[in-house]
Structure 1
Amino acid sequence: MTRIARRGALGALAIALAAPRLAAAQGNTIRIVVPFAPGGSTDAVARLVSPGLTQRLGATVVVENRSGAAGSIGADAVAKARPDGLTWLLTFDSHATISALLRNPPFDLMKDLDPVMLIGGSPYSIATKANKPFRNLADVIAAAKARPDAVSYGSTGNGTIGHLTMILLGEAAGVRMTHVPYRSGGLAVNDTVAGTVDMMIGSSALLLPHINGGTLRPLLQFGPQRLSGLPNTQTSTEAGFPNLIAEAWWGVFAPHGTPAPMVARMNAALRETLQEPRVQQVMTETQQARLVMSSPEEFGRFFAAEVEKWGRVVRSSGIQPD
């Protein structure tokens, strides 16, 4: 390669790497769309990382909650946004069930959004109001066997991974329980604390603050081993269900066609932000999350496997969206 050609290539690379900052400056703000109502763990993660992203991307980063239709409304808004680096989706594991759950999804799950990063995950857990009679999963199963459909549980919506996990648990334990879907983890927690539902399933990140505060009692965690924040709560394996492992996760997507340098820049900004000591502490201790901070390619492979795994459960159960 000649000196002139090398200089031209380096100049093009510099422009490409600067593209995210230039795009952000033109639009003034970068939107992180959360496809759920405020108060859940996805909203909490988005608001946790937004200050660091603001610093690193050279533009104000705002979190926009657009909930409804199993998370597809917010995801569709991002899928239809211009791929200019100004709009991103930070979503939850239930994103993997949209194509199986909705009869006519407004966008193509695998084609209209490009993976950016798998942030990390936290095992699902079941918790109940502190003054409810349930002390562990065995108590729940005994009550459900004695009164089919009388025991109720909340989740963040029909077809979410929490809901699907409870379906698998009911099948494995031979019991029927009543599902109460909510539009966000925060709403489900509120009704569980109030005693409106007998218990709820949610990410350990969502439930732990209320467990530590004494308003909720943990009954079971679906991780392969006990979390440091739930040292006295048995795992599904310990409870006799070794094949029932379920982990909540958070991931970031971009509108399809977002230039690779912009995706790389967002991935790098997320990684740097998540490695800040304060942010890392909140994620690993308060949220009880296992940080992954994957590459876009790694997230793409993980996501395809999640779509296949949980899509089978949705189809076999005949679940309909909220």
Structure 2
Amino acid sequence: MNPTRRILFAALALLACAAAPLQAQTGDWPKRQPVRLVAVFPPGGSVDQVSRILAQQLTTQLGQTVIVENKVGASGVIGTHAVLSAPPDGYTYAVVFDTHGVNPSLMPSMPYDTRKDIAPVIVIGTAPMVIATPAASEYKTFADVLAAAKGKKNISFGSVGSGSLSHLAMAMLVRRGGLEMTHVPYKGGGPLMQDAVAGHVPLSVASVFVTKPHIDSKRLRPLAVTTAKRAPELPDVPTVAESGFPDFDARAWWGVLASARVPPEIVHRMNDEINKALQVPEIAQKLAGQGIALMGGSPEAATAFIDRQIETWAVVVKENNIKPE
């Protein structure tokens, strides 16, 4: 055998040896160890709750423990980066909120490239956001809020984080309506709801998922929803569009992400398992009961959805000169 052919065969043998461990790892997934869902916002918020609903069902389906870890900060960037820094073996995933689609335009120096370094697994669903006020508030309707804000009474509103869709939706509203409002960012829906029900912030803007339990308990009064149509869970609550802002439509969303280095076959298997979980009546009822319209679908559909979110909200960030706080 000539030297060139020897080198070629040696190279092919090395490639085969390198591929063998990877094939073994992908073939026995998820038997080797627990699967981690990293919730990128604090306990008590919608990301945490969605993660725990999924984890319980996935544990049953996979025959493997699925644990939830909260890694919070920087509107989800810290938790997402932790997932990308983990071994790309398909055992670590990020559960993210709508901030994921805003962060690229808001934080140009993030420690990862959202499009290149991440493999979207699935978009779980979307939901309206609710503008609410404490039960004892002077604001009885959304019209009261608009009148006060137009009358130069600067009103504070709390969001689930700087750069979140709740923040950007209100920024659009303030700009279009010529309103005076001050943004108070929180580190997730849990902390926001604690201050909202305690009356420490006049307005809260968060998903139906995280707000509705406090509406049901009469501690918060809903004033408006941010989707084009009224929310089925809150049929008596008007939309922002009905209140003088035609075509106003902004909705929260939740997704599951993996590192782009995770083998595609594992990403697709995880996608299959989550789609199955969303079809379980009890799981679908829990999520729908909190205002989430389920999406599911393929990793490719998730990628297309998130790309559109990145493009849409980049325009809003630029137009409103929004900076990270």
Question: Does TM, normalized by the shorter one, top 0.5?
Answer: yes
Runs of 4+ in 1 over 4 A off after TM superposition: 18-21
Q: 2:160 aligns with which of 156, 162, 173?
A: 156
Q: TM-score, normalised by structure 2?
A: 0.90
Q: Tell me the CA shift for residue 32 of structure 1.
A: 0.5
How far, CA to CA, are the matches of 2:78 and 2:157 in structure 1?
25
Q: TM-score, normalised by structure 1?
A: 0.91
Q: Is the 8 A contact 2:133 2:204 kept in 1?
A: yes
Q: What RMSD over aligned residues (CA atoms) do the two structures have, in Å?
A: 1.7
Structure 1 residue 167 corresponds to structure 2 residue 171: yes
**Counterpart for residue 13 of structure 2:** none
**Counterpart for residue 18 of structure 2:** none
Q: Tell me the CA shift for residue 228 of structure 1.
A: 2.0
How far, CA to CA, are the matches of 2:84 and 2:144 in structure 1?
44
How far, CA to CA, are the matches of 1:256 and 1:123 in structure 2?
30
AA at the equivalent of 2:129: Y
Q: Is the 8 A contact 1:222 1:246 kept in 2?
A: yes
Q: Is the 8 A contact 2:227 2:249 kept in 1?
A: yes
- The one-character-per-residue Cα deviations of 1:261-283 (angstroms, maximum 9, x if unpaired) are 21111111111111111111111
Structure 1 residue 232 corresponds to structure 2 residue 226: no
Q: 1:22 aligns with which of 28, 34, 57?
A: 28
AA at the equivalent of 2:213: P
**Counterpart for residue 313 of structure 2:** 310
Q: Tell me the CA shift for residue 294 of structure 1.
A: 1.8
Structure 1 residue 265 corresponds to structure 2 residue 269: yes
Structure 1 residue 292 corresponds to structure 2 residue 295: yes
How far, CA to CA, are the matches of 2:172 and 2:140 in structure 1?
21
Q: Tell me the CA shift for residue 20 of structure 1.
A: 5.3
Q: Tell me the CA shift for residue 315 of structure 1.
A: 2.4
Q: Is the 8 A contact 1:66 1:73 kept in 2?
A: yes
Structure 2: any 5+ residue segments left out of the alignment?
Answer: 1-21
How far, CA to CA, are the matches of 1:119 and 1:248 in structure 2?
11
How far, CA to CA, are the matches of 2:315 and 2:268 in structure 1?
32
AA at the equivalent of 2:112: F
**Counterpart for residue 12 of structure 1:** none
Larger Rg: 2
- The one-character-per-residue Cα deviations of 1:212-255 (angstroms, maximum 9, x if unpaired) are 11000000001222122111100122112122101100011111
How far, CA to CA, are the matches of 1:145 and 1:223 in structure 2?
22
Structure 1 residue 50 corresponds to structure 2 residue 63: no
Structure 1 residue 179 corresponds to structure 2 residue 179: no
Residues 1:204 and 1:194: Cα distance change in structure 2 (over 3 Å): same
AA at the equivalent of 1:109: T
- The one-character-per-residue Cα deviations of 1:72-99 (angstroms, maximum 9, x if unpaired) are 0001111222221100011001101111
How far, CA to CA, are the matches of 1:270 and 1:153 in structure 2?
35
**Counterpart for residue 39 of structure 2:** 34
